[in-house]
């Protein structure tokens, strides 16, 4: 009945919008987030907790940057590369950031194809994402070795405050670990997608539960989060 005005009953059944629907969901039974599966809800809450970890790390970095009396090295000089005779400040980090942001793009596409149950494209895009991630970690390793070569250590720093090296290695290391873990899981899930585990409802080795394509999206949540954190590290460490 496309033309008829909604009856009272229909109006009551119609999905509510905005705050009302929020209140309705939370005062309902069974689930507070109606559209989120268990796995997704869990990932969101985990990311919230992880946000606090990174938040504490970054606040700690700012605090020691203020507490030390030795001058802080100038990031655009420290993170400059000599390429073909020209001195390019922050060039490596710009490329790294670009790579990581691009990987978020391919991840988003993988999620999209995952929902269309396009096995091959999903798996390939996840592999590309993983490759971007691995490139990022590789470039970070290069940057670490360059700094180490210049004498920067967690405990000392010929360029200025020792807290610079300490905070740099700790925070980028912690973030790099996140990326590395992400790459590992991307590979594992890409393999499952490729093999068709989610189409055949094959059971997981450890959990003995059937996986679903949704895992791709949950993986995506994590990956975008790691990306977002990088933006903050980039802004607070390299640009400040």
Told to check if 240 binds another protein by CB under 8 A, we report no
Of 101, 210, 228, 235, which lies in the binding site for another protein, with binding defined by CB under 8 A?
Answer: 210
Q: Which of the residues 122 through 151 are near another protein (CB under 8 A)?
A: none
Told to check if 19 binds another protein by CB under 8 A, we report no
CB 170 to another protein: min, Å = 6
Q: Kindly state the tokens that stand for 177.
A: 């670990």
In this complex, which beta carbon is closest to another protein, that of residue 111 or of residue 166?
Answer: 166
In this complex, which beta carbon is closest to another protein, that of residue 153 or of residue 195?
Answer: 153
Q: Compute the half-sphere exposure of residue 131: CA atoms within 13 Å on the CB side of its CA.
A: 7
> Any long-range contacts for 103-106 (C-beta under 8 Å, 24+ apart)?
103/128, 103/129, 103/132, 103/133, 103/136, 103/223, 103/227, 104/223, 104/224, 104/227, 106/132
Query: How far apart, in whole angstroms, are the C-alpha atoms of residue 221 and residue 209?
Result: 21
Of 4, 69, 86, 200, which lies in the binding site for another protein, with binding defined by CB under 8 A?
Answer: 69
Told to check if 200 binds another protein by CB under 8 A, we report no
List residues binding another protein (CB under 8 A): 26-34, 36-39, 41-42, 45-46, 48-50, 52-53, 55-57, 60, 63-64, 67-70, 154-155, 161-163, 166-167, 170, 174, 206-210
């Amino acid at each position: 009945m496309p033309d008829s005005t909604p009856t009272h009953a229909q109006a009551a059944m119609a999905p509510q919008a905005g705050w009302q629907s929020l209140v309705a969901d939370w005062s309902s039974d069974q689930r507070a987030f109606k559209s989120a599966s268990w796995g997704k809800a869990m990932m969101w809450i985990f990311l919230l907790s992880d946000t606090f970890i990174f938040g504490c790390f970054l606040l700690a970095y700012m605090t020691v940057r203020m507490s030390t009396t030795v001058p802080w090295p100038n990031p655009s000089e420290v993170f400059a590369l000599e390429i073909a005779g020209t001195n390019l400040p922050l060039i490596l980090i710009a490329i790294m950031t670009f790579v990581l942001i691009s990987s978020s793009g391919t991840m988003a596409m993988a999620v999209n194809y995952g929902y269309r149950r396009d096995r091959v494209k999903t798996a390939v895009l996840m592999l590309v994402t993983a490759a971007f991630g691995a490139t990022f970690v590789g470039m970070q390793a290069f940057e670490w070795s360059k700094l180490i070569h210049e004498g920067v250590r967690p405990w000392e720093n010929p360029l200025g405050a020792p807290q610079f090296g300490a905070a740099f290695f700790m925070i980028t290391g912690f973030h790099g670990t996140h990326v590395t873990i992400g790459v590992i899981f991307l590979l594992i899930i890409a393999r499952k997608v490729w093999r068709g585990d989610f189409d055949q409802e094959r059971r997981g080795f450890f959990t003995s539960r059937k996986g679903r394509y949704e895992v791709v999206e949950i993986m995506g949540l994590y990956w975008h989060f790691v990306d977002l954190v990088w933006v903050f590290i980039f802004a607070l460490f390299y640009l400040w």
